[in-house]
Structure 1
Amino acid sequence: MKRNKRKSDEMFNLDDIKVYMQMSAKDKLYWLERVAKFLHKITPSKNKKIWERLKERGF
C-alpha cells in the first residue's frame, strides 16, 4: 500500500482507505495478518498479560 503523508490533524489518510477498499478479500486478510504479527512482535509482554486478563473479564 502506498504511504502518503498525513496532515497533522488527520487520524487516517483518505487515500489509504480508498486503496484498502479496492483490495480483494484475500489481500485484505494478508494485510491484516501482517499487522497482527507486527503488533504481536512489538507489544511488550507486560501489556500482553494485561490484555489477556481483560479478555478473561469480558472486555
Structure 2
Amino acid sequence: MDPRLTRAFDQETRCYARFAELCALRLGPVEVPFEGAVLSGYLCLADDDPTPRTTVR
C-alpha cells in the first residue's frame, strides 16, 4: 500500500477527532464489535431541544 494513503488516513482520523471535540454537536467515538473485529466510528446524538422537527419530508 502506498504509505501516503496511510499517512493521509491517519491525518484525516486525527482531524475528525479534533472536530468532534470542538463542535457544538454531541459527537463522540464509538467502537462496534462485528464478526470478531471492531469497527470504529462516531455517534452524533440529537440535542435536548424539545421543539418538534421534521424528520422526513
> Is the TM-score greater than 0.5?
no
Which structure is higher in strand share? Answer: 2
RCO higher in structure (CA 8 A, sep ≥6): 2
User: What TM-score, normalized by structure 2, do the two folds share?
Assistant: 0.40
